[in-house]
Structure formats: structure tokens, C-alpha cells
Chains A and B, each alone.
Chain A
Amino acid sequence: MTRFSIFSLARNALTGHTGWDRQWRSSELKPDYDVVIVGGGGHGLSTAYYLAKEHGITNVAVLEKGWLAGGNVARNTTIIRSNYLWDESAAIYEHALRLWEGLSQDLNYNVMLSQRGVLNLAHNLHDVREGRRRAYANQLNGVDAEWLDAAAVKDFCPIINISPDIRHPVLGATLQRRGGVARHDAIAWGMARAADARGVDIIENCEVTGIRREGGRVVGVETSKGLVGAKKVGLVAAGHSSVLAELAGLRLPIESHPLQALVSEPIKPVLDTVVMSGTVHVYVSQSDKGELVIGAGIDGFNSYAQRGSLHVITSQTGALIELFPIFSRLKMMRSWGGIVDVSPDASPIVSKTPIDGLYINCGWGTGGFKATPGSGWAFAHTIANDRAHSVNAAFSLDRFTSGALIDEHGAAAVAH
């Protein structure tokens, strides 16, 4: 692997950039692995990377049924923040944010983290109370958070409409200055390259069709490329988690929904922060290319189709225009959908399962991108040690039986 640096850039510039290596190998599937990760998206690749880096486990395969990083890591709105209400959530998302802050150096790959601040708007008295409470809870947990009144919001984001006579007036917002956006593909490619350099095999076009067990223990997976032995198997398949878990006879507290996003035509810089509103379901930032990147809410029905209904986008762009009248004549260029795995308490599952050697990481719902490095880090620890780290211990599958839910509905600053 060529290390990226100013010197390697200069050296390759002299040869017309024809001398760059491939960033990761095209691996052949081996018959046996210590760990098989099912799902080659952001969380799966990050799990493989931290298994190799933190635990020295390099005999690892990442099996991806389509192409690398073609699911939700390619489809999200790239927002990163850690301003969650509950202690357990603040711990895991803040852990992820701290990993993000050193990730470009760690991976030797520019993930283009831009800590431009995230505003979570309040539109009614309840939102104001909830937002202030969350900001104070964040401060107690060592997560940076501030409360801004409407005038301060306008000062921080001048194009926002704080007129009191709109349907959902802006009464204030929480601000996390360390929040922001990152390059969605870069974390997947960077993790793939770094994991591959440590010996991890990344196998694309390899669908898992069965999970082999002997005496209650996982011994391997059946795939479209044949049987693969594995001492441990980690399922990290976002919207398809229920389908995979069923192969092992497990039922999950997950329902898969479409979540849509869209981008506008590129315009000059007008929005230098991230604005989110759970009440009207708008999440917007401006990309480096100048496009507005806009996220919508989920469709109400279950779906595996990676597309949603137009009325969801219609109501969300209506709200966007009310908040930002300056956007009213923008053309939208593309819209798309992903399948998100929604859990009953809007919190993820990063956990052992009742089956020995089988682990599951799912339930990130509409907000998994921000957690990518933290999720992989915690899941790698859980797989390597056969027990959860304190950062993800509360996010067990067992909590739906014990009742110890982590209820982030609404409290997580967005409606799920």
C-alpha cells in the first residue's frame, strides 16, 4: 500500500498519476477465517479494521453481497454529531466523534471531516424545553452543547427565517460546534484500504445464504461462492439485518423502512453549518460542490426497495422553503432512498446473540453514519473478547427482554 503524503503525491504527479497502486486487493475467498463479517458497508469495514488494529485479528473476511459501500454509507446525508440525551447514547456517539476527529491521520485517508457545527431547531415550547434539557445533559456528559435563542440562531445561520408568523417558527436551537459532516465514501474506502493493508479479505458479490451451526455454535456461513468456515460471525447488514438473522433462526426487534434524501443543483456557498429540525423533518447542509444535501423522514411502511414515496419529499421540501425562503427557486437534481433498520427505542443493537459465536450490529435507524467508527470499534471489541465493551454494553439484544431500553425517540434530537 502506498502511503498518501505530499511526497507520494509529488512523485506521482511527475509520472502523470499513472503509478498509483490499487487501494485494496481483489481478494480470493479462503475456506476458513477466524472472523467473518457479513456486510461490506461502513460499519462492517470499520469492524474489520478495528479487529485487525486493536485486537490483532487479521484472518478476517468481509462478505458483501453487492459492491463495497453501496448501501447506506453511500446514501446518507453525512451528518456527524454526538448530542444525544441519555448517558449510554452520549457515550457511544461521543466515542465515535472522538475517533472521527483523528480518523484521517489514523487511516492515512482524508475523510474530509468538517466540524462546521450542527443546529437542532426548536419550533414549539416542548422543543425548547427538550432542547435545553438535552444541552445541559450533554454538558454533564462532556459533550459540547449550547442553547441558542432565535436571535442567536439567526446570527449563527443568517439565511434562516426566524419570522414568528410561519407555521413552525424557530424559537431557538441547540448547537454542537464539534458536529458537522464528513465525506461518506471516504470513510468506507479508507477503512477498506486500511483493513486490507492489515490482511483483511474484502469479498464483493458474495451473498450469505445460510449460517452453519454445530451444537449451538456458529461454524461458518453458506455463500453464493460456497461454504466458508468461521469461528465467529458478525452480522452488520443495516436494513437487511432481519433477513440475515432469520437464517440463524433469530427474530429481531427491527423493522426496515425507506429513508430518502435529495440534492439540489450546485450554488455558491450560502450555508456553512448543518441545520436539522426533527419537528418538520428537514436536515440540510451544503456540500463542497455547492449542492444542498437534504434528508427527509422515513416512509411509514416496511420496505426493502431503496425508494420511498414522493409525498414524503414534498412535505419536507415545503418545510425547507419555509425555513429558508432563499432556496425556493432551487432545482433538485437527484433523490434516492436507503433502507434503514428501525428499532423500538431508536437505539442500536451492538451485541452478542443467544447463539455462540454469532454477533449482531444493527438498529442504527436513520442515524448510523455518524457512528461508523465507534460502532465498528465497539463491535470489534465485542467479537474479539466475546463480551461487550462498557461503551456498548447497554446496547444489547437482551434489553428488549430485560426492559432496560434506551429510549432516544425524540430525545435524540430528531424524530425517528
Chain B
Amino acid sequence: MLKITCPYCGPRDEIEFRCGGEAHITRPKEPGRLSDDAWADYVFMRSNPKGNHAERWLHVNGCRRWFNAIRDTVTHEFKAIYRVGDSPPADLIGPTRGTK
């Protein structure tokens, strides 16, 4: 079981958390002007990297707050944990969508 450090509550067991998938996917500012391809990219396409992955986590059985993390999808190691709204550490991850 993973040990995950909630930025609000400290280290807790994985079973208190739920992974919310890829982070930094921003809702398009002008949805009405979006092409079908751009919609598909926003709604369905995911980077799914082998290595560092920026993702959202919810401390569902704790403080019930969302936060972001950079986690290695091969070792499962949490490289960074940061609050929603903060930018991901640039040295850990390439340009992410919505942060350009």
C-alpha cells in the first residue's frame, strides 16, 4: 500500500485517497468555438506517460480536499505534492496542457 502525504493532513494510507486522473486539463475558455478534434483531445485524450505523471488526488476519507501530485508510474514514487492552483515543479515534468 502506498503512503501518501496529504498537504493538509500529512502522511496517510492509500485507502484514504482516490486518484482523480491527469491534472492540469483546463476546460476550454470558448467551448462554442472548439473543433471536434479539440473537444476529443480535451474530453478523451490523455498523456498516460511511462514515468512522471501529474495527477489529481482526493483525500476522500480524510479532509475531502483535492490536491495535485507528480508520481512516477513505474515506481509509484510520489516526487512532489502541491496544492490545486500551484504550478507543477518544472524540473519534474514537461509542459502540461493548460499550463502553457
Interface residues of A, Cβ cutoff 8 Å to B? 240, 242-243, 251-256, 300-305, 309-311, 344, 400-403
**Complexed CA–CA distance, A251 and B97 (Å):** 13
CB proximity of B44 to chain A, nearest CB, Å? 4
* Smallest CB gap from A250: residue in B: B45
**Complexed CA–CA distance, A310 and B48 (Å):** 23
Contact of A309 among B2, B36, B73 (CB under 8 A): B2
Contact of B46 among A255, A300, A303, A401 (CB under 8 A): A255
**Complexed CA–CA distance, A305 and B40 (Å):** 28
**Complexed CA–CA distance, A305 and B46 (Å):** 18
**CB-CB under 8 A for A304 and B21, given A253-B44, A311-B14:** no
* Smallest CB gap from B35: residue in A: A401
B37-60 interface bits toward A, Cβ cutoff 8 Å, 1 = contact, 0 = none = 101110111111110010100000
**CB-CB under 8 A for A311 and B71, given A253-B44, A253-B45, A401-B40:** no
CB proximity of B5 to chain A, nearest CB, Å? 15
Contact of A301 among B1, B19, B49 (CB under 8 A): B19
**CB-CB under 8 A for A310 and B37, given A303-B76, A344-B44:** no
Show 20 residue pairs from A and B whose CB-CB distance is below 8 angstroms, ordered by the A residue. A242-B48, A242-B49, A243-B49, A252-B45, A252-B48, A254-B46, A255-B21, A256-B48, A301-B19, A301-B55, A301-B71, A302-B21, A302-B55, A303-B73, A303-B74, A304-B74, A309-B1, A311-B15, A344-B44, A400-B40
**Complexed CA–CA distance, A310 and B76 (Å):** 14
Contact of B41 among A242, A251, A300 (CB under 8 A): A251
Is B44's CB under 8 angstroms from A305's CB?
no
B18 at the interface (CB under 8 A from A): yes
Is A253's CB under 8 angstroms from B50's CB?
no
Write out the residue numbers on chain A whose beta carbons fall within 8 Å of the beta carbon of B36.
Answer: 401-403
Write out the residue numbers on chain B whose beta carbons fall within 8 Å of the beta carbon of A310.
Answer: 1
B47-91 interface bits toward A, Cβ cutoff 8 Å, 1 = contact, 0 = none = 111100101000000000000000101111000000000000000
Given pairs A240-B50, A254-B46, A403-B36, 16 additional interface contacts (CB within 8 A): A243-B49, A251-B41, A252-B45, A252-B46, A252-B48, A253-B45, A300-B18, A302-B19, A302-B55, A303-B74, A305-B73, A305-B75, A305-B76, A309-B1, A400-B43, A401-B37
**Complexed CA–CA distance, A305 and B2 (Å):** 13
Is A400's CB under 8 angstroms from B71's CB?
no
Pick the 9 closest A-B CB pairs, nearest first: A242-B48, A253-B44, A301-B19, A401-B40, A251-B45, A400-B44, A300-B19, A304-B50, A400-B40
Write out the residue numbers on chain A whose beta carbons fall within 8 Å of the beta carbon of B41.
Answer: 251
CB proximity of B88 to chain A, nearest CB, Å? 16
Write out the residue numbers on chain A whose beta carbons fall within 8 Å of the beta carbon of B14.
Answer: 309, 311
CB proximity of B30 to chain A, nearest CB, Å? 19
**Complexed CA–CA distance, A403 and B36 (Å):** 9
**Complexed CA–CA distance, A344 and B41 (Å):** 12
**CB-CB under 8 A for A304 and B73, given A251-B47, A252-B45:** yes
Contact of A254 among B18, B48, B76 (CB under 8 A): B48
Write out the residue numbers on chain A whose beta carbons fall within 8 Å of the beta carbon of B22.
Answer: 255
**Complexed CA–CA distance, A301 and B14 (Å):** 11
Contact of A302 among B1, B45, B53 (CB under 8 A): B53
* Smallest CB gap from A303: residue in B: B73
**CB-CB under 8 A for A302 and B73, given A255-B21, A309-B1, A311-B1:** yes
CB proximity of B27 to chain A, nearest CB, Å? 17
